[in-house]
Amino acid sequence: MLRRVLGRSGIEISAMGLGCWAIGGPFWRGDRGVGWSVVDDQESIRAVRRAMDLGVTLFDTADVYGCGHSEHILGRALGSRRENVLIATKFGTTFDEASKQAGDPCGDPKYIRQACTDSLSRLHTDVIDLYQFHAADFDLTRAVAVRDTLEDLVEEGKIRWYGWSTDDPARAALFAEGPHCAAVQQRLNVLEGNRAMLRLCHDQHLASLNRSCLGMGLLTGKFDAGTTFPADDVRHGWNLRDGPQAEQLARLQRIRDVLTSGGRTLAQGALAWLWALDSVTIPIPGFKTVQQVEENAGAIAHGPLAADQMRQIDEILS
């Protein structure tokens, strides 16, 4: 099985993790849905367990996903198999669990400690393997106290390693000054992303966890100009007919044949592109169903794209 190392931690994990945003179900920021519409909790649990059966050993969630619900479901799903996997979760966005409302970013040390305690409880675990700051644009000067608090939590045995979910290399570099920083979570896929962050990961020996590795579903090939999303779906405002997403669909069509080479599905090709791009990449595609998990995990057997295929995609997109 294709493997990756989680940065400075030295921990070897599956080359693909699973992102647990979608299984948190609906939640809101004001009147705007920031979840992935309705979810079947029993199917979510079956999907997590199927992923473990297929060799997936990294699960990435956040306390704000479903305002606590994603962590609850992941903790239930892992059960007695928790020791066989690496749990990554996030903090940094306040929320109200009862009303399902996400609030403001926060990096206050007292808040961080309480958020960590609450996540440990929801996940039914004694330690968080990778604890990630979930406030992408948080003020750099105030972020020093966040990093120092995370180092304290390592010393106390509540977390093992930490990182920042941000697309800004300067912010990631600040966290990298801490000895227990092991990863950065960045938006990266075949159509969009930040290569400068990959260079930083190499220089600082950090893993690059790739959110939106399937373009929030767009790179699966399952959408067309007539696709719409419900109001409680974070993609509700997408315009697949003549908006930015329509342009992405057109670009995707031009590289479809390369991505689907060797019997891959389009989604599997998008994951294979990330593995071929750099040795530090760890895509974390989202899921709602067992079928989606099986398709995504099936990409591992195909492995990365070949060098000539990567060059062909670069030429087409440029």
Q: Which residues are catalytic?
A: 65
Angstrom distance (rounded) from CA 207 to CA 202? 8
Pairing of strands 101-105, 93-96: antiparallel
Tokens representing residue 310 in the block: 């990567």
The helix-helix angle for 266-277 and 290-302 (nearest 10°) equals 50
25 burial (CB, 10 Å; 0-12 / 13-18 / 19+) is: buried
Could you count the other beta carbons within 10 Å of the beta carbon of residue 177? Answer: 10
Angstrom distance (rounded) from CA 34 to CA 44? 18
Phi-psi region of 262 (alpha: psi -120 to 50; beta: other; left: phi over 0): left
- Identify the three-state secondary structure at position 301: helix
105: which strand partners? 93
84 burial (CB, 10 Å; 0-12 / 13-18 / 19+) is: exposed
Residue with tokens 């979608």: 22
Single-letter amino acid, residue 81:
R
Pairing of strands 192-193, 12-14: unpaired
Angstrom distance (rounded) from CA 251 to CA 262? 21
Sign of the four-CA dihedral 75, 216, 136, 69: negative
Tokens representing residue 167 in the block: 């697309």
